[in-house]
A and B are shown apart, each in its own frame.
Chain A
């Protein structure tokens, strides 16, 4: 999206007739000077860390720094892929990310469609305003709320016992099979309303004439949803999926870090937590390994974005670039 835009802008600039002349330089010297400051800032805070990737090919020691540490080739990567724990965190990250992507997209669309069917304007407004409130709460607060709701005296256990589904309170956070569903559900609680905003905007902009002609053809409410609403918001769905597919591996840090614990760490730990462990975990600090794991994550994310984009191109849908 953004890349193709910048090339089209370039053509526009030529059409604008702005040439690289001394006069033009002088005219906009202040813009160029400020832009230079931004380039320096960008190089320091965004591009220098990329240069830090070199650590992944070294045996980085704090004392000697990047310039003085010994190069070890791909040894760190070899270690990573022979580390059972690393393979485990890849699985966890990927599965939780994919589950989150699927469920959050479906729920947001369903919620947007149902909300759109509400005829009472005030009711609609109130429900929507409440629905995206949790988006603005921090993960710390959200995890605290979830933790209390699922604790042994919390509402969920209270209801489950009351209706006789279980005899005694269930320890959700000590259960391995429950961790992924909890992550997905917590994510849904926090983000469904927020994610629905864009779909709702897309639904509102559908031409009412389409619904009218569908009614004339005898389409019922559900047929209209299926044959008019969904196809009309398909471009929005596709572009959001594309934007989020690169984030599948990013979708796992704060929530898992806060809700995870020793008993269930084989299913809760993600790549980011694995990296963090090498970064700050006292005795076992290994910056080179952590960097290598980070590189792996970034590269996979890039591959996912490009792959998603290629698929979208083939099916004739919207694409990012």
Chain B
């Protein structure tokens, strides 16, 4: 009897499973399309001829192929300076930030350090309370940081969140390694450079990548602190100016908060040029992403949220 009743139930489960699998696969495929389409579409438009692209209707492939937009973009002065400064700030900013965060994490993860809890608390507070935009601006002005390159590097060098992630990782390294090195006469700096740091490569890589992406994508600090000083503009800020010309004009308004403050571009930049600039700006991230993405995920699972 039990066999008889089991059979139809199993069959019902199997069809239910099949329906669910089809439904789920469809959702996942749709999700992937929605994620990738805007990027691929912009890529196609960027390779299309300018006046033809205005007609619209370009999807995944350019209709009239042309490299002219890219040629125009890489000749634009702001873009060239922006690219140089962005590369520079990404390299210098990432290196200095990595060293600064690692050293603080090292100190905070030493079990014998006398001011451990005090120093931890000092930095944890910075995660919750911050002075805000205007006091920070006033401070930077009195430190003469405004209008310089260093305003990108120095203020954000130490981040309490990154320090907490690194500290957790370092605290997991057995003390015996440190102790035996110290017995052989190694000082704290030798322990940091020769014992701890080599073991921390994965977490260093993760933090370095996060900081690098942050620097690559920054634009707001460029707008706030180097708006009048085009020498230190960044790539993303230049892109923002290109795109803002459309937001302001396209909607026929006098410009909102965004365009009121920096609507210096009077003419609408063609969509192909904007697309080419967008693609160039995200190209390094997309190109490196497949190789580096696993580091990003390990970073999340190492410290942050698990703790």
Interfacial residues, chain A to chain B (CB-CB below 8 A): 1-3, 5-7, 9-10, 12-13, 16, 18, 20, 24-25, 28, 30-32, 34-35, 38-39, 41-42, 44-53, 55, 66, 111, 114-115, 117-118, 123, 126-127, 129-134, 136-141, 143-149, 151-155, 158, 171, 173-174, 189, 193, 197-198, 201, 220-221, 236, 239-240, 243, 246, 254, 256-265, 268-269, 272-273, 275-281, 287, 290-291, 294-295, 297-298, 302, 305
| Distance between Cα atoms of A289 and B138 in the complex (Å) | 14
Instruction: State whether A117 touches B20 (Cβ < 8 A).
Output: yes
**Chain B 242-253 interface 0/1 with A at a Cβ cutoff of 8 Å (1 = within):** 011011101111
The chain B residue sitting closest to A290, CB to CB, is B134
Which chain B residues (231-280) contact chain A, with CB distance < 8 Å? 236, 239-240, 243-244, 246-248, 250-261, 271, 274-275, 278
Beta-carbon contact of B135 and A131 below 8 Å: no
- A111 engages B31 (CB within 8 Å): yes
- The answer, among A47, A144, A147, A278, for a CB contact under 8 Å with B134, is A278
Q: List 14 A-B contacts (CB under 8 A).
A: A2-B124, A20-B114, A35-B107, A44-B143, A53-B135, A115-B28, A139-B217, A140-B217, A145-B278, A147-B246, A148-B42, A263-B252, A281-B260, A305-B128
The interface-forming segment of B65-73, B115-123, B197-205 is B115-123
* Complex Cα gap A236–B301 (Å): 13
> Which residue in B133, B158, B293 is a CB contact (below 8 Å) of A290?
B133
Given contacts A129-B293, A131-B31, A144-B239, contact A6 B124 (CB under 8 A): yes
Given contacts A53-B131, A114-B24, contact A144 B258 (CB under 8 A): no
A25 to B36, CA, bound (A): 57
Which residues of B have CB within 8 Å of A39? 119, 122
Instruction: Tell me whether chain A's interface is mostly helix, strand or loop, or mixed.
Output: helix
Give A117 Cβ to nearest chain B Cβ, in Å.
6
| Pairwise interchain contact A144-B278, C-beta atoms closer than 8 A | yes
Q: How many B residues are at the interface, by size bracket?
A: 35 or more
Asked if A143 and B243 make an inter-chain contact with CB atoms under 8 angstroms apart, the answer reads yes
B contact residues around A129 at 8 Å (CB): 290, 293
Does chain A have a CB within 8 A of B297? yes
